[in-house]
């Protein structure tokens, strides 16, 4: 069953809503899916559902909930502008708040699955995934897709606590390749993969979708989770 569910375990008591999907049969593990700047929209819900179809108890927290709950945007210019404003509003909050909501999602995925938990994030969610890998508890593996900002100096200084893979597009106008290569050198423990693609290449609802790159990245991500989560 798929339904929005309040997560009631954020450290400050905030009940962050999430899109939760249980697999048929016993879960092989848990999975947290962190959205782009477009909220828990149709694309993120589809990814969450696909993880459930592969046997994971999947949870997609509403990372905008503290500033505007229920965001569900498309990919037009107006949607991009709205998403950027909402992201900026969340980033102005103390980092511990949104990370606390993500920790609540990790805890929920662990409770639903009774097993280990993986986490994947896209765009802004990729940045949050990186921060989660470095700062939060209970993660067995993390995958970041074109995490905007995670190659900056302040983020590179962090250290992940679990196995990771990070996917980038060689033609990403928002993440310079120079920064990607510097990140890879600073973090040899992270599997850094670069594709002949642009930003957002995994999203089949965006003009930048690249099927070949998305499929290769998906197989690499699933291999990491199969090895580390279950």
Set 9, 16, 199, 203: catalytic member = 199
In the set 123, 134, 203, 228, the catalytic residue is 123
199 catalytic residue (yes or no): yes
Both tokens of 202, joined, read 């995994």
In whole angstroms, give the CA distance from residue 230 to residue 152. Answer: 32
Is 167 assigned a catalytic role? no
DSSP, res 230 = -
d(CA 137, CA 162): 10
Give every CB contact of residue 198 below 8 A, 6+ residues apart in sequence.
Answer: 169, 171, 172, 173, 208, 210
Catalytic annotation on 162?
no
Question: Cα 113 from chain centroid?
Answer: 18
- Among 62, 101, 172, 210, the one annotated catalytic: 172
Q: How far apart are CA 137 and CA 49, in angstroms?
A: 24
Q: What are phi and psi of 84, to 5 degrees?
A: -65, -40
The two structure tokens encoding residue 165:
């893979």
Point out the residues that are catalytic.
123, 172, 199
């Amino acid at each position: 069953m798929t339904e929005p569910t309040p997560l009631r375990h954020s450290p400050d008591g905030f009940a962050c809503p999430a899109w939760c999907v249980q697999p048929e049969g016993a879960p092989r593990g848990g999975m947290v899916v962190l959205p782009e700047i477009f909220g828990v929209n149709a694309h993120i819900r589809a990814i969450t559902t696909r993880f459930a179809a592969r046997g994971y108890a999947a949870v997609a927290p509403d990372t905008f909930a503290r500033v505007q709950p229920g965001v569900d945007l498309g990919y037009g210019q107006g949607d991009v502008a709205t998403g950027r404003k909402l992201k900026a509003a969340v980033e102005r909050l103390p980092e511990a708040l949104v990370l606390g909501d993500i920790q609540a999602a990790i805890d929920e995925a662990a409770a639903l699955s009774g097993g280990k938990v993986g986490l994947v994030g896209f765009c802004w969610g990729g940045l949050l995934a990186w921060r989660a890998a470095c700062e939060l508890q209970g993660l067995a593996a993390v995958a970041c897709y074109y995490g905007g900002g995670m190659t900056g100096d302040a983020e590179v200084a962090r250290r992940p606590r679990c196995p990771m893979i990070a996917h980038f597009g060689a033609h990403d106008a928002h993440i310079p390749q120079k920064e990607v290569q510097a990140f890879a050198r600073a973090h040899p423990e992270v599997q850094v993969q670069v594709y002949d693609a642009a930003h957002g290449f995994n999203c089949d609802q965006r003009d930048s979708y690249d099927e070949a790159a998305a499929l290769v990245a998906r197989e690499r991500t699933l291999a990491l989770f199969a090895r580390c989560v279950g």
